[in-house]
Structure 1
Amino acid sequence: MARKKFIAIAGNIGAGKTELTSFLCRKYGLTPSFEPNDQNPYLADFYKDMKTWAFRSQLFFLTHKFRLHRELERTPGTVLQDRTLYEDAEIFAKNLHRQRLIDKRDWSTYWELYQTISQSLRPPDLMIYLRCPVVTLKERIRLRGRTMEKDIPTAYLKRLNALYEEWFEGYSLSPVLVLGTDKLDYLTNLVDRVDLFRQIEKHL
């Protein structure tokens, strides 16, 4: 891992992205980059009135992630990102459009902007996809007790999981490592841990 690499971790809410990011950063001495939820000035309004604020909220995330991605490209040493710009568009914004919370005209503007931005970026050297069933996601969300997440409907998590699978079926920007995080226990199980390191190092 001497040469600069860009590792991205993708996955649904509660899939274990932050935990894995922190774990790998400790193991390899990497620079982490976390999801900037608390910086979105539209988020509180969005949760109260999704149809009015969905487009603006997603535009903020796209802009912020674009700037962050650029910064990561310039950061020396290997970097690790918890949730990417691609997920904002391919999963979260697309879900809002399909639920008719972002109308056709706004969606067309958003998607064109996303395509233009993504084509100008250096893709990750490795995309780690954390696959996790909804029942496990629900339990983890309950255990971590974040106020904004406590009332997330099961149907919403199912739709996001379906969009993740759809996205990864056609994803070709970089090598992908798929980890089933409902069964993987790299924190306490030495065999799982060694296997995880081996797979990551094989890609990098």
Structure 2
Amino acid sequence: MRFLVIEGNIGVGKTTLAKMLAQDLNAKFITEQFDDNPFLPKFYKDKDRYAFPLELSFLANRYTQVKQEIMSPDLSRPQFVADYHFSKTAVFARHTLNSDEYQLFRQIYDIVSDGIPNPDLYVFLHAETPRLLENIKMRGRDYEQGITAGYLRKVQEGYISHLKQVDTFPVLMVDISQIDFVKNLEHYQLLKNIISKSDYKLGINRVILS
């Protein structure tokens, strides 16, 4: 598996899992660069005003990172594990932008997304909303503390709607509500073994872990 993507809602643990898998596989770890985005804290305070510049900045940053990290091969580490997929840009934009802004954004997105490589496997981690809120609170990012359960549910719906349309690569939707792969090594190994399988069909495949 050359290109593995770990995705999911805010606070689900995608970055933690991607980092653990990259280390085990001796793969190159690619993490989304968002801490330095000046629009993100502003967006959480005033979504209507800052949604469009935020989504454009994410589009530019993600495209640049994918081009540099994935489309330019590193012979010493031919495998990649990323904690986001480029299509995340369109998923969030559809939720945060008004219709006119989204139509303009989508035109730009369709241009720059042409040629972006598909992952060999796209893993979508699912956890219940209360657990997401608990994780968000525990990691303590100030600008995230105002995130509501309703917002997380809308993000989840956006992902599901998008993934239902995928037919060019396999998507593995894993419900991790009943496990803790960070604190329990057996849970991590179970999740890793599920991800390592290579017989998933194109489109959505579902697994519930307990």
Please give the range of the TM-score, normalised by the shorter of the 2 chains.
Answer: 0.7 to 0.9
1:76-155 correspondence to structure 2 within 5 Å: 76=74, 77-90=78-91, 92-97=92-97, 102=98, 104-155=99-150
Q: Shift of the alpha carbon at 1:186?
A: 3.1
- The structure that is helix-richer by fraction is 1
2:53 equivalent in structure 1: 56
For residues 1-204 of structure 1, the aligned pairs below 5 Å read 5-71=2-68, 72-76=70-74, 77-90=78-91, 92-97=92-97, 102=98, 104-203=99-198
Using CA pairs under 8 Å that are at least 6 residues apart, name the structure with larger relative contact order, 1 or 2. Answer: 1
Alignment length, in residue pairs?
A: 195
* 1:175/1:203 contact within 8 Å kept: no
Provide the rounded CA distance (Å) in 1 between the counterparts of 2:191 and 2:66.
25
Q: Provide the alpha-carbon RMSD of the alignment.
A: 1.9
Offset at residue 190 of structure 1 (A): 4.9
SS in structure 2 of the partner of residue 19 of structure 1:
helix
How big is each residue's C-alpha offset from its partner over 1:156-189, in whole Å with a ceiling of 9 and x where there is no partner?
0111111122122222231112221222333454
Where 2:35 maps in the other structure, the secondary structure is helix
- State the secondary structure of the residue aligned to 2:181: coil
When the two structures are superposed, what TM-score results if normalisation uses the length of structure 1? 0.87
In structure 2, what residue type is equivalent to 1:28?
L
Deviates more, 1:160-169 or 1:40-49: 40-49
Cα distance in 2 for partners of 1:37, 1:196 equals 26
* Structure 2 unpaired stretches of 5+: 200-210
Describe the superposition over 1:50-90 as per-residue Cα deviations: whole angstroms up to 9, x where unpaired: 22221111001011111111122213211111122211212
SS of residue paired to 1:36? coil
